[in-house]
Amino acid sequence: MKKEADSLIDNVKELFPEIQESSAKDLDESEYEEGLPLVLNKFIRSLEAISRMPVKPQNIQECSNGLESIEKLKLASKAGFGILDKIGECTEKTPAHKPVWEQICLLKKVNTAFEDQSQKLISLLSRWRNLEKSEKEDDIDFQPLLGFLLVYSQIFAA
């Protein structure tokens, strides 16, 4: 399970190299009993950090790439749930199950944040494509521009 968790964190670092390394210490094979529930700790903390810094694209390509990255993170999150389920089976009815449950709750919150970001980027990408199409057709219609600006300001006005 540790190898799977390490693989997940490596994939996240590949997508978002700017993410800071978590301060959680690396686990050793000999720390099985207390370490097993914390195998995904770095992975979950990294996802949590990414979920707090939404993608703010500057062009349509960045928007598309950001959406693709969020979708990959959602898949990684799903794999994390699978690992936590396995760990939960091993720690069920023990005091070690509490950190597993806390990580599951945290991963659910992160997943919800990613879903929200994904929906916003889908909406923005749709408006951006309408704007791009309108620019190419040069039909002097301001509605695509106004629609894009409205959605962009709603998403990123903070």
Pseudo-torsion of CA 124, 75, 106, 39, nearest 10°?
-150
**Mean pLDDT in residue range 2-11:** 82
Assess if residue 138 is contained within a domain. no
Assess if residue 65 is contained within a domain. yes
- 100-to-37, 51, 53, 79, 85 alpha-carbon distances in Å: 5, 20, 25, 15, 9
Q: Which residues form the domain of 80?
A: 2-114
DSSP state of 94: S
Above 90 in pLDDT, residue 111? yes
Above 80 in pLDDT, residue 33? no
Residue pair 105/40 in contact (Cβ under 8 Å)? The answer is no
Assess if residue 145 is contained within a domain. no
Report how many domains make up the chain. 1
Assess if residue 121 is contained within a domain. no
pLDDT for 110: 94
Assess if residue 129 is contained within a domain. no
Assess if residue 157 is contained within a domain. no
Highest mean predicted confidence (pLDDT) among 3-7, 93-97, 146-150: 146-150
Is the model more confident about 118 or about 95? Answer: 118
d(CA 5, CA 36): 11
